[in-house]
């Protein structure tokens, strides 16, 4: 790891934490109001990014696993010893770069987007805390620390979704995100406990070693893997725990770009990748991951087709792409999933920033009120189109290369899942260009005069656009996926043009191209009326538009009926009848028996005296006659 | 006839019984207090008699009865104070009527 001092590695998560402490405690109590808060957080993240890049460059040249021992944090009688330590391996290296880079760009972008907002230091403080927690999650060598950071990113997500807490929708969305991810976290925690009881350690590498050595039974491994995946499902918004992510769009758009597109939601994928040796030992868990991934990808894609809110489309697209990554993981490869995570982080953050830029000038996210923005906002339009092309998987942009890997893996393993993934790819291209044409094409709909966003917002978008184009080229020689631990034989032909020797490249390009063409025909040229198409497929359209009624199912049936009226009512009655009943009966028994006894206490002193006398006499006689 | 231990004990028991009878039957708090004093006097006689006839050299019984007298004096002082306070509050010292703590 080209000899980076350990202290500097500790500084990677340490600096954002220091920024958080400084912002939250010092600045808040001193009540300094200026952009200084932002600059402080940005400086910390920038330094962190520079260090991460250094670490990652070293790993890229010489992939290896490094453990950095910290100090003993908790020692419970020698049974549970928790050490704060860090792990640096190619997997964490790539995550470090993604997290710090996107966080840095998002914070710079926020300077423009959030300009003039109230409580900016709270905003930057939470983003710094988030960055710290995310880096901690990535680098932790211990499941407990990992879980703590996992919860901490969840907390930051909650705090930032509800940043505008005075808006009821935002507060509601924040709560929803918190609750639903908690369902998944329950599984994760259970898995941690299960692993601890059977492997006797919480250190990730030791657990892997124990599992591979066969010290942990295969049933335990399967359950633990499924529990971990449940955590990942919650965090990465996989079906059926996906409902919080679209609602989370109530938060500020830069937050959506950072947390709900690039990093936190991808941490589920990272987690599965980190615990991959366990999954590899359990075919059941792997096939579950693959199936859930493919179903989620397709399912979220269909909803994204019909949403009117630009951020909702992006949110469902994110869910869909996370499904893709899960599919990649489930098919037996960490490398391809992480590669897609890597490229996706850039172009999806870019798309969110583009949506934020549009919102910044038009004041709406509703695509029906937009249109014709291409001339008014050329930079936003250009970068957004690049992001969309990348996401759709158009050669030679980043998304193409990472998507190809997953499709190829699916094709050679699971033809059914491959078909689902290909259909998703088609829908992805269609809905992204539906957004592009509705937003930037056609005529402007409203009377407000939109304007291009300021440089501070455009520059991060340009940087991301460059990455959205070029991030995939890192793997042109297969180097990136190799160091991430490519599980397959290198049958895949790499290279800028060499990729086209494989028929799959043509197929996926044709699929994406036809999706874009259809969107162009429907929303730009209007050869096909979108209304007519919707009417023709109205049953499907209704289902998609109502998001398969999942929210209604959860709220009305599971939430209100099953839990509130059913289970909770039952608990309430149990409480009233059994618990309160027992207490009341005990009290009643006491009352009755004391009613009988209290007649003895009649208040006549003389009678007491007499009883006293006879009592003493009886005792005296007893003593005398029994000796 | 010089009275022996037996006669003293009979006297003691007699006085104690008188006191006990009064303490159990009377209603007036003051009378009850007086009766308790009588019971203590009976006990004192027994103590002194035992001391005189069983351990004539040491004055254990006598010193003990002096203690009893002192404590009884203190007890009467406290008892009368309570009765006085009670009378001011309730305008009676009839123990049967002072039954607030009864259910």
Residue of B20, B32, B99 lying closest to A613 (CB–CB)? B20
Q: Which residue has the tokens 């860090």?
A: A86
Amino acid A473: pLDDT? 81
Reported as a pLDDT band with limits 50, 70 and 90, residue B11 is: very high
List phi, psi (to 5°) of A502: -95, 130
Residue of A601, A606, A609 lying closest to B102 (CB–CB)? A601
Chain A nearest C-alpha distance from B64 (Å) = 22
- For B25-62, the pLDDT digits (tens) are 888 889 999 999 999 999 999 999 999 888 888 888 88
10-residue averages of pLDDT along chain A (627 residues): 73 87 74 70 89 85 78 78 83 88 90 79 87 90 89 90 87 88 90 87 84 84 90 88 86 87 88 87 88 89 86 90 88 83 90 88 78 81 89 84 84 85 89 87 71 82 88 76 63 63 82 87 78 79 79 79 83 90 92 85 79 91 89
**Cα end-to-end span (Å), chain B:** 56
| Nearest Cα residue to A373 out of A348, A392, A355, A352 | A355
Q: Are A329 and A272 in contact (CB under 8 A)?
A: yes
With 0-12 / 13-18 / 19 or more C-beta atoms within 10 angstroms meaning exposed / middle / buried, residue A7 is exposed
Q: Are A270 and A140 in contact (CB under 8 A)?
A: no
With 0-12 / 13-18 / 19 or more C-beta atoms within 10 angstroms meaning exposed / middle / buried, residue A544 is buried
Chain B nearest C-alpha distance from A186 (Å) = 55
* Neighboring chain B residues of A601 at a CB cutoff of 8 Å: 102-103
Judge whether A606 is closer than 8 Å to chain B, CB to CB: yes
* Neighboring chain A residues of B101 at a CB cutoff of 8 Å: 603
CA–CA dist A595, A261 (Å, integer): 70
Chain B nearest C-alpha distance from A602 (Å) = 6
Q: Do B26 and A606 count as a contact with CB atoms less than 8 A apart?
A: yes
Amino acid A586: pLDDT? 93
Return the percent helix, strand and coil in chain A, to nearest 5: 80, 5, 20
For residue A596, what is the nearest residue in chain B, using CA coordinates? B103
State the DSSP code for A564: I
Q: Which residue has the tokens 């366990």?
A: A278
Across chain A, which distance is largest between two alpha carbons, in Å? 120
Amino acid A495: pLDDT? 66
CA–CA dist A305, A515 (Å, integer): 11
CA–CA dist A284, A287 (Å, integer): 5
DSSP-H helix ranges across A441-558: 455-470, 479-483, 503-519, 530-536, 538-545, 550-552
Q: Which residues, in sequence order, are bridge partners of residue A82?
A: A74
Radius of gyration over every alpha carbon of chain B, rounded to an integer in angstroms: 17
With 0-12 / 13-18 / 19 or more C-beta atoms within 10 angstroms meaning exposed / middle / buried, residue A442 is middle
Amino acid B66: pLDDT? 92
CA–CA dist A208, A215 (Å, integer): 10
* Neighboring chain A residues of B98 at a CB cutoff of 8 Å: 603, 605
Amino acid A30: pLDDT? 65
Instruction: Sketch out chain B's domains with CATH numbers.
Output: 5-90 (1.10.287.3510)
Q: Do B96 and A613 count as a contact with CB atoms less than 8 A apart?
A: no
Structure tokens at A419: 């078909």
Give how far the C-alpha of residue A483 lies from the chain's centroid of Cα atoms, to the nearest Å.
25
Amino acid B103: pLDDT? 56
Residue of B25, B99, B103 lying closest to A606 (CB–CB)? B25
Amino acid A489: pLDDT? 47
Chain B nearest C-alpha distance from A626 (Å) = 23
CA–CA dist A18, B71 (Å, integer): 75
State the DSSP code for A266: G
């Amino acid at each position: 790891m080209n000899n980076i001092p350990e202290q500097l590695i500790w500084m990677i998560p340490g600096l954002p934490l220091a920024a958080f402490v400084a912002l939250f405690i010092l600045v808040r109590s001193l009540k300094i109001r200026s952009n200084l808060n932002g600059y402080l957080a940005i400086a910390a993240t920038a330094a962190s990014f520079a260090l991460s890049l250094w670490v990652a460059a070293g790993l890229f040249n010489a992939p290896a696993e490094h453990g950095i021992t910290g100090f003993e944090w908790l020692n419970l009688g020698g049974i549970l010893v928790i050490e704060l330590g860090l792990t640096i391996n190619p997997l964490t290296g790539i995550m470090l770069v993604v997290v710090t880079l996107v966080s840095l760009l998002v914070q710079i972008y926020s300077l423009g987007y959030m300009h003039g907002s109230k409580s900016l230091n709270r905003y930057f403080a939470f983003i710094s805390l988030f960055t710290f927690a995310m880096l901690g999650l990535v680098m932790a060598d211990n499941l407990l620390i990992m879980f703590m950071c996992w919860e901490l990113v969840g907390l930051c997500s909650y705090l930032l979704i509800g940043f505008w807490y005075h808006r009821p929708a935002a507060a509601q969305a924040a709560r929803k995100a918190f609750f639903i991810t908690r369902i998944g976290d329950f599984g994760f925690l259970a898995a941690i406990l299960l692993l601890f009881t059977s492997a006797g350690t919480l250190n990730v590498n030791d657990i892997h070693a124990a599992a591979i050595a066969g010290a942990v039974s295969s049933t335990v491994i399967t359950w633990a893997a499924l529990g971990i995946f449940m955590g990942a499902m919650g965090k990465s918004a996989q079906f059926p725990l996906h409902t919080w992510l679209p609602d989370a769009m109530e938060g500020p758009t830069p937050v959506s770009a950072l947390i709900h597109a690039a990093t936190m939601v991808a941490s589920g994928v990272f987690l599965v990748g980190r615990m991959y040796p366990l999954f590899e030992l359990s075919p059941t868990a792997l096939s579950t991951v693959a199936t859930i991934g493919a179903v989620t990808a397709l399912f979220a894609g269909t909803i994204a087709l019909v949403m009117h809110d630009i951020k909702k489309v992006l949110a469902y697209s994110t869910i869909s792409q996370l499904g893709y990554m899960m599919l990649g993981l489930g098919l037996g490869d960490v490398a391809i999933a992480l590669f897609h995570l890597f490229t996706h982080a850039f172009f999806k953050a870019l798309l969110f920033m583009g949506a934020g830029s549009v919102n910044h000038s038009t004041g709406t996210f509703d695509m029906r009120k937009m249109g014709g923005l291409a001339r008014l906002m050329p930079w936003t339009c250009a970068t957004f189109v690049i992001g969309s092309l990348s996401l759709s998987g158009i050669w030679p942009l980043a998304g193409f290369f990472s998507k190809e890997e997953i499709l190829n893996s699916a094709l050679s393993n699971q033809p059914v899942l491959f078909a689902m993934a290909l259909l998703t790819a088609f829908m992805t291209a269609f809905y992204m260009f539906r957004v592009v044409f509705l937003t930037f094409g056609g005529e402007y709909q409203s009377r407000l005069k939109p304007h291009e966003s300021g440089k501070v917002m455009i520059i991060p978008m340009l940087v991301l656009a460059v990455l959205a184009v070029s991030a995939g080229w890192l793997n042109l020689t297969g180097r990136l996926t190799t160091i991430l631990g490519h599980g397959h034989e290198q049958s895949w032909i790499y290279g800028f043009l060499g990729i086209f020797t494989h028929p799959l490249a043509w197929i996926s390009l044709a699929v994406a191209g036809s999706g874009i063409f259809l969107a162009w025909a429907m929303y730009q040229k209007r050869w096909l009326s979108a209304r007519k198409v919707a009417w023709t497929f109205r049953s499907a359209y209704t289902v998609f538009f109502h998001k398969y009624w999942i929210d209604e199912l959860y709220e009305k049936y599971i939430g209100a009926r099953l839990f509130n009226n059913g289970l909770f009512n039952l608990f309430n009655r149990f409480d009233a009848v059994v618990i309160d009943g027992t207490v009341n009966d005990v009290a009643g028994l006491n009352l009755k028996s004391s009613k009988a006894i209290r007649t003895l206490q009649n208040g006549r002193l003389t009678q007491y005296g007499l009883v006293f006398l006879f009592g003493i006499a009886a005792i005296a006689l007893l003593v005398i006659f029994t000796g | 006839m010089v009275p022996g231990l037996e006669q003293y004990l009979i006297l003691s028991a007699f006085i104690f019984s008188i006191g006990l009878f009064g303490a159990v039957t009377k209603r007036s708090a003051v009378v009850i207090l007086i009766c308790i004093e009588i019971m203590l006097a009976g006990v004192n006689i027994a103590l002194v008699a035992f001391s005189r006839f069983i351990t004539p050299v040491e004055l254990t019984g006598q010193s003990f009865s002096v203690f009893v007298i002192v404590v009884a004096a203190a007890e009467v002082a406290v008892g009368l104070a309570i009765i006085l306070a009670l009378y001011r509050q309730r305008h009676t010292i009839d123990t049967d009527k002072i039954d607030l703590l009864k259910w």
